Amino acid sequence: MTEIKHEPATVYIKPSKGLAALNLRDLWMYRELIFFMVWRDVKVKYKQTLLGMAWAVIQPVMTMLVFTFLFDRVAKLPTEGIPYPVFAFTALLPWGLFVVALNQGSRSLVAHNNMVTKIYFPRLILPMSSVFAGLVDFAIAFVILVGLMFYYQVTPAWNLLWTLPLFLLLAIVTALGVALWLSAINVQYRDVNQALPFLTQFWLFATPVAYSASVISEKWRIAYSLNPMAGVVNGFRWALLGTGSGPDITLWVSVGISILIFVSGLFYFRSMEKTFADTI
Partner 1 sequence: MTTAISVKNLGKQYKIGAAETKFRYNMLRDVIVDTVSAPIRLAKAMVGKSDRRMNQNFVWALKDVSFDLEEGKVLGIVGRNGAGKSTLLKILSRVTEPTTGTVTVRGRVGSLLEVGTGFHPELTGRENIYMNGAILGMKRAEIDAKFDEIVDFSEVSQFIDTPVKRYSSGMYLRLAFAVAAHLEPEILVVDEVLAVGDAEFQKKCLGKMGDVAQQGRTVLFVSHNMSAILRLTEEAIVLNKGQLIMRAPSQEAVDFYLSSGQSQAGERMWEADEVPAASQPFTPISLKVRERGGKVVDTVRSTEPVMIEFEYKLDSSITGLRVGLYVSTMRGEYVFTSFDTDDAALFEKYDTRSAGHYVSRAELPGDIFNEGRYSVGVNASSFGVRRYFMDENALAFNVDISGAPGTQWGEPRVGPVRPRLNWKIEKIG
Binding stretches for partner 1 (CB under 8 A): 1-2, 4, 6, 8-16, 30, 32-33, 35-36, 40, 43-44, 47-48, 112, 114-121, 188-189, 191, 274-275, 277-278
Q: How far apart (Å, rounded) are the C-alpha atoms in residues 262 and 230?
A: 17
Shortest Å distance, C-beta 139 to partner 1:
21
Q: How far apart (Å, rounded) are the C-alpha atoms in residues 149 and 159?
A: 17
Please, which residue, 112 or 237, has the CB nearer to partner 1? 112
Shortest Å distance, C-beta 175 to partner 1:
22
**Cβ distance 145 to 57 under 8 Å?**
no
Please, which residue, 61 or 115, has the CB nearer to partner 1? 115
Q: Which of 193, 261, 197, 196 is nearest to 227 (CA)?
A: 261
Shortest Å distance, C-beta 276 to partner 1:
9
Please, which residue, 90 or 108, has the CB nearer to partner 1? 108
Helix/strand/coil (H/E/C) assignment for every residue in 73-137: HHCCCCCCCCCHHHHHHHHHHHHHHHHHHHHHHHHHHHHCHHHHHHCCCCCCHHHHHHHHHHHHH
Please, which residue, 40 or 223, has the CB nearer to partner 1? 40
Shortest Å distance, C-beta 31 to partner 1:
10
The terminus-to-terminus CA distance of the chain in angstroms comes to 40
Shortest Å distance, C-beta 74 to partner 1:
37
Say which amino acid occupies 1: M
Please, which residue, 218 or 278, has the CB nearer to partner 1? 278
Please, which residue, 195 or 266, has the CB nearer to partner 1? 195
Q: How far apart (Å, rounded) are the C-alpha atoms in residues 267 and 263?
A: 6
Please, which residue, 125 or 209, has the CB nearer to partner 1? 125
Q: What are phi and psi of 260, to 5 degrees?
A: -60, -45
C-alpha distances (whole Å) from 150 to each of 80, 153, 154, 221 are 18, 5, 6, 32
Other CB atoms within a 10 A radius of the CB of residue 264 amount to 13
Shortest Å distance, C-beta 55 to partner 1:
15
Q: How far apart (Å, rounded) are the C-alpha atoms in residues 248 and 67?
A: 28
Under DSSP, the state recorded for 211 is S
Shortest Å distance, C-beta 121 to partner 1:
7
